[in-house]
Structure 1
Amino acid sequence: MEAKSNEIELVKNQVSSTAIVVFLNIEGITNEESMIFPNDEANCMNWILGHMIYIRNAFLNILGEESIWNNEQFSCYNRGEIAWNRKAEFVSFEELKSYFKQSQEKLQAKLNSMESFNPDNIKDISTLCLHEIYHSGQLGYLRRILGRPGAIR
């Protein structure tokens, strides 16, 4: 059997590493804490995690998989939305954690089953990895702002 492409191995590592960072940064955060908007303007943890899941659905779609949720129903987490204005639509942080776990399992399974990427999708896949890294770091800062100890040492 032919070895997997380097691109797939790289993306698998990015996706699994980012998930570890996300899970460490959200561990122990309550729903109430997840709804705190620093300075009443910066995005809260709930929105950032929901947004990561929303964009992960696009990642899954690019790889030929179905989304884990209905994007229309969860449109409050879409890019460009003003989170503060739509906070009444947010789902509980525990529910988001469950959706993130599901997206992780589905993404890992898909990547494990692939031999190569469609070359037309490489740029998008790379950008989606960057998106995850960017927001997983934001969760780390928000954790500290909430008065929690840093999770990455």
Structure 2
Amino acid sequence: MFFRFLIFVLGIYISVFSFANDNLKIICKKEDSCNVVAKIDGKNKIILKDYERSKIHINWLSKDLAQLLLSCGSPCNYSTFIDFKNKLESKKSYYIVIAVDPISKKVAYINDNEKIEVSNIFSDKKIIIDLDFSKSLSIYTAIDKVKITHNKISINYYAGEDEIEKINKYILPI
């Protein structure tokens, strides 16, 4: 019991004090009841309320852009983004993010139809990429690597019946 308590206390300490930016914090009342609080325009705003600590991860993509990653199982996760410089929050949560470019503020993710969508994080502009992934693999395991650089996306993935064909595809513009 003491060991579990110590891990919980250390988790709170790390969550609250170890980020490169104090504008986003995880504050826990208990292990399964944590809030994510963002400081926007000098005011604290609760972004997420009463979520389990072990399912929340904050990823700083740049000094002003944060990704709040929420686990909902495996491979299930959702991401939302906050741009502290421009005081913007993403309009939606993105399901299974596979790449983010913090410079162009574009995100690639898997949509509900198991297709790749690429969109601007803070607007409704998007494209859908429909590739011929290997029939014997799920999209999650067929994708090897995805990278967004400005207006180009590079996708390495497996295709073919027995997933031996590895394809590197560049798509312009996004």
TM-score calculated relative to the size of structure 2:
0.24
Q: Decide which structure has greater helix share.
A: 1
Rg larger for = 2
Q: Decide which structure has greater strand share.
A: 2
